[in-house]
Structures are given as structure tokens and as C-alpha cells.
Chain A
Amino acid sequence: MAKTDTKGKKLERNGLSDDQLRTIFRNMLLQRQLDNRGFQLNRQGKVPFALGSEGHEALQAGAAMAFHRGKDLLAPYYRDLGLALGIGLTSYEILLSLFARAADHNGGRQFPNHYSSKAAGLMSFSSILAAHLPHAVGAAYAMKYRGERGRAVLVTCGDGTTSEGEWHESVNFASIHKLPVVFLVENNLWAISTPIEHQMGQPEIWKRAAGYGIPGRRFNGFDPIETYGNVNEALDRARNGGGPTLLEGMCYRFLAHSTDDNDMTYRTKEEVAEHRKDDPVPLFERVLLDHDVMSAADVEQLKRDVLRETNEATDRAEAMPYPTAADLYTHLYEGAWQPWQ
């Protein structure tokens, strides 16, 4: 995709309709708005912590468009706000997680961005990187074991996670059993403060696929249409018995790792600014305008809608009660449980 002025060139849609393109763009705008809201609320002292996902919007909105709701499962990690939205979580649910309210799926127990929703097919996960990959593979095994064609698991992680042993164990097991799972690495070039060259000697993660005997591909994760095309193809293959795929979407983490991180201690403003030139949100806006998928007025209206939705969700979630002290003691085991003490 051209970085500027896409007019005059034929839009490669990968089969996406205008409606789908607008849905992707809305998801991207909403992710950015909610992402920023987390940082704003933290600075206002209203939430203790937030994680940023700026720069991952195109990758996540494109991938989510390939997800089949009610069938597929998503095993995400903590930078997947846009994927959570894209598979059906609401802004209100995102804010409940941020505010740690009782009505949150996790009852306010987990860090923000650690979503869980059985209804949406979003598997519960912890902060421990790569620990969720075997879960995704186990779920994919269950699907295959029951002979369920037409279902697959999409499991995501950052580049940093690919150094974990369980990353290898999971891809290897999926390859052995040709499981319906797609490994999507969101490569933003940074593992908190550790750059890619200090994470791996060979920086093209997708190339590892050859070692596992499965298809692998790297793509521009700033382009939601290219992302959709790759994820859709891989998920379709998985759903139809073709086994796993390793995908590497290239993106960038525009914000610090979290509200507790200062990225200027390990990278420069200049580096971030250089990547900002490829910011996928204005870039995709330009594409939609240039190809008359949306008018400038449509875009402005959509931005107002997204801001209003974020504000309403913020107010609504903030007004909800916290879990009570008694809630500390529930859901440890099934049924009533007498703690050992």
C-alpha cells in the first residue's frame, strides 16, 4: 500500500466489501480512542494502570475481520484491545476492565486488557507470556478431536513472546497434529525495552515456519487489508483441515509499554517519529477517502461517533460498583469453598 496519495490506483480489497472496510476503520478508530482513554484515565488518577496498543490497530482490525464469530476462538495477549473489539467485545466491556468493576468479565480481578469472554470465544489468559499458546493449541486439538470442521483458533503474541520455550512447544505440537490454529505474531520491534536485535539472531520470525514444516508469511501489519488477506487465508486453511500457519505482521508500538514505562529511557523520539509517518490510522483513512469508500463528512461523523461512544462507555463503566471484599473469596473452586484457614 502506498504511504500517501493512493488515488488513481486500484484498491486491492482481498474480497472486502465497502461495509467491511468501514467496519475495519471504525474498529481502528475506536481502538485508538479507547487506548488513549486508558492513558488519560491513568493520568487523571482514575485507573492505576493501562497498556497501550497504538500502532497495532490495522493489524488487529484486519485480523478480527477474518475471525468467524460463534465458531472460532481467539487466544490473545494483553495488547489486543482491537482484536477484542473486533470479535465482539463492546467499548463498555473494555472500560469495565480498565476500571476493574464488578461487572467486568473477570470481576475486576485481572489487569486491564486481560479480556475474557466465553460468549465471544475469547479465551482467558494471564500476563505470563507464551503461557496461552499451549492453551490455544489444546483448544485446537479439541476441535480437531471432535471432528469440527469450520472452526479454528487464532492465537496472537508479540515478538518478545517468541523467545519463550512454550512458543516453540506450541508451534511444534500444532505442526505434529496439523491442528486448526493460526499463530499471529504482532511484531512491534520491542519487547518492553529490548529491541528485536537483542531478542533473536535472525529477526524474521516467519522464517521459523520452515523449521516446523508449516506455512509462514510476513506482511505489513500497518495495512488492514493485507492483514485480513493473510489471516483469512490462514484461518480458512486451518478450518478446512490444512493445519497451522505462522504469520508475522509488522507494526510498531507508538506508546510506551504501559503507563508505568518511560520509553524515552531506551529509544529516541526520532525513532518513534519515523515510524509515526506510517501510522496506520490516518493512512487507512486516506485510502478510504481516495477510493470513495467514505467521504470526508462520513469520516468526521465516524470520529464523533467513536468519541461519543468512548465517553459514554467511560461514564457508564465508571459509575458501576467495584467488586466487594466478599468477592475475593468466590470462584476459587466450583461450589461453596471453605478456605483452608
Chain B
Amino acid sequence: MAVSSPTQTTQIMNNVDAVRATLYDAMKNDPRTVILGEDVGARGNVFLITKDFAKEFGPQRVIDTPIAEASIVGIAIGMAMEGLRPIAEIQFADFIYPAFNQIVGEAAKTRYRSNGEYTCPLVIRTPYGGGVRGALSHSVSIEALFYHVPGLKILAPAFPADVKGLLNAAIDDPDPVLFLEHKKTYRLIKGEVPDGHYTIPIGKANVLKEGTALTVVSYGLYVHWALEAAQQLAGEGISVEVIDLRSIRPMDKTTILQSVEKTRKLLIVHEDNKFGGIGAEISAMVAEEALFSLDAPIRRHCAPDVPAMGYAEPLEHEYMSSPAKIADAMRELARF
């Protein structure tokens, strides 16, 4: 990635701008690219990500689909098998369940089951996550449901520069990619984004802050809160290393293991439920490969084992973490 280049010009963007700009370039640069989903055309997506795209690129490339998630993904698979480069949108991640078979049973297996004869270069974008009063059906995290599935790649960038670099990588990728956009970060998180086309390699985590006392692994919105908490703990003399996974599958084992071997303590922080979540797999991996480097039990700071966050403010508050709650979890592990 060219971010460090001193001559690189950048622009300040939020995450939603970064998605929009990257999709725009993809549409501009490759006539095989089509976008399909609910309300992506005339409405320009419910977050206005594709606003005016239909006017510029035409309704045949920016396709307002019927409300039918299974076939949004299924039709995109057929397009991909027949030479297009579709970007399918599921309006909210919560609505992805009807498309579960198309993603798990079809897209993830197309290359494998045909022994490489057919491929499925497909991006499925979807906004996920809470903290926006999204209630039971506009707030969920879905990554663990798909994490189990070989054949998929799952990305969940937290910063605008990563959104652009990884979305470009997803669009260029010859295999199906589930691209998760945390909706609370859409307008909340701003940052410098390099101009021009660049990609960030899929499967590479980013050490956002180096530290020595413990390692925190996170992704999505909670990366920002973990950073905030880590800064706070720095003031208390506790040095926390913060890793942003960015890529959930494949996962950057090397970066996690190197960090854990240095800090000897691991805290995993995610918004998705704890039981069977991404943190469970990271914990198992570290236990298998670096148990004797650890000075403390692995800790997971994740959502409780309930279906999702309720609509009422106290219910959402209880479900969600916060910089303060993450800081507490860090302190507790640091003290062990």
C-alpha cells in the first residue's frame, strides 16, 4: 500500500465516502462491473453510497433489484460465472439470512466443486453492526456465521484508507468476498485516503499501536474504541498493543502470534457474540500454537449470548461495549 509514500496525495474521507469513491472508480474502470441490490439505483443506496451512479452508469449497471436477497446473491453468482464482475449489496447485514445458501452453498463452493472450471469473482457488501439504535434486525454482526465456511473471504476494515484498499482488493479478487462495513463508522470515522488505485493485501492485520503489556485484537468499530482505551491506559503506564485484523478470513496468524509472544497476554474484543465468535477461533489458535508464551488466560470481551441488541437505549447500551468497558477489560488482564 502506498500510504507511506511522501509524494502520495491524500484526501480526508469518512468510511462511507471511501466505499462510494472506490465503487465509483470500479464502475469507471471496468465495464464488467455491475452493482445490484435493493434501492441502489434511483435512491442511491439507503446510505447514499451509490447516489447518482444510476444516472451516470445507467440502470443496466446499477440494478435496483426486487426485495429478494437470495436471488440478489444468486444472480450475482450467475453474472460472475458468465464473465461480469458483480458487486452485490445486501441492504443491511441482518437481511443476509435468506441469501445464506447462495453464499455458503453456492458462491463459496463454485470453484471447489467444479475443480476450478468455474469461478465466482463476486463481492457482497453489507453494512453491519450496532450503536445506531438498529434494534434486533438492523444491528447484527454476521461474520461468525460465515467465518466457518472455506471458500469465502471476509473483510471488515475500520479506517477509510483500509476500506478503499481492501474493497479494491475484494473487487480484484477472483473469489467471493464478503465485505463488511460497520455502519456506525460510516460517518463517524474520518481519515486520510490516498488518491489513485491501490490495494491492501487480504489477510494482513495492522498493528495500530505497539505495546508491551498486552495484545488486543479487534476489528470494526471496536478497533477505534480499543485504541481510545489503549491511549487512556498509556496515561496509567500500561502499554497496550492494538491489532486491527481488517481481514477476518483469511486471518493473519503471524501478526497475532508475534504480538502475543512479545506481550504474553491476549485480549480479543469484538461486537459479535462471544459464544462461537471470531474470538473463539483466535483463542484456540493461540492456545494451540503459543500457549507457553502466555502469562495469563486468554480473555474475550465480546457481546453477551443473546440474539441481538434491543431497541430501547438501555438494552443497546448493555449489549454494546464502550471505550470505558474495553479499558476495564484491559486493566483487568494487565493486572493478572
Contacts and interface: CB of A to CB of B under 8 A. Distances in A.
Interface in B54-99: 60-61, 65-66, 68, 70-71, 73-84, 86, 98
Interface string B239-256: 000000000011101000
B92 to A, nearest CB: 19
Contact of B116 (A110, A136, A141, A331): A331
A36 to B, nearest CB: 26
B34 interface: yes
B149 to A, nearest CB: 11
Interface stretch (A165-173, A261-269, A287-295): A165-173
A23 interface: no
Interface of B: 34, 60-61, 65-66, 68, 70-71, 73-84, 86, 98, 101-102, 105-106, 109-119, 150-151, 153, 174-175, 249-251, 253
Nearest to B75: A138
Nearest to B110: A124
B60 A131 contact: no
A116 interface: yes
A142 B118 contact: no
A109 interface: yes
A81 interface: no
A207 interface: no
A126 B113 contact: yes
Given A138-B80, A139-B78, A118 B117 contact: yes
A231 interface: no
Given A126-B113, A131-B105, A141 B78 contact: yes
Given A124-B118, A170-B74, A176-B66, A109 B105 contact: no
Interface in A145-183: 145-146, 165-166, 169-170, 172-173, 176
A176 B66 CA distance: 9
Contacts of B65: 173
B115 A107 contact: yes
B74 A331 contact: no
Given A134-B75, A169-B68, 14 more contacts: A105-B115, A118-B118, A126-B106, A135-B77, A135-B106, A136-B78, A139-B79, A145-B60, A145-B61, A172-B66, A173-B65, A173-B75, A331-B115, A338-B250
A94 interface: no
A107 B115 CA distance: 6
Nearest to B74: A134
Contacts of A333: 111, 151, 153, 174-175
A106 B111 contact: no
A334 B119 contact: yes
Given A134-B70, A138-B80, A333-B151, A105 B75 contact: no
A166 B99 CA distance: 10
Contact of A332 (B81, B150, B251): B150
Contacts, number: 145
Listed from nearest, the 3 A-B pairs whose CB atoms lie closest are: A138-B78, A134-B74, A107-B115
B112 A332 contact: yes
Contacts of B82: 73, 138-139, 142-143
A106 B70 contact: no
Contact of B151 (A107, A141, A332, A338): A332
Contacts of A166: 70-71, 74
A133 B105 contact: no
Contacts of B101: 128, 131
A105 B116 CA distance: 9
17 contacts: A104-B115, A124-B113, A131-B105, A134-B71, A134-B74, A135-B75, A135-B78, A138-B75, A138-B80, A138-B82, A139-B81, A142-B78, A165-B68, A169-B71, A330-B115, A330-B116, A333-B151
B199 to A, nearest CB: 15
B314 to A, nearest CB: 37
B250 to A, nearest CB: 7
Contacts of A146: 83
A64 interface: no
A117 B117 contact: yes
A136 B71 CA distance: 11
A75 B84 CA distance: 17
Interface string A50-76: 000000000000000000000001010
A206 B35 CA distance: 32
Contacts of B118: 116, 118, 123-124
Interface in A70-93: 73, 75
Contacts of A137: 71, 74-75, 78
Contact of B117 (A73, A116, A143): A116
A134 B80 CA distance: 12
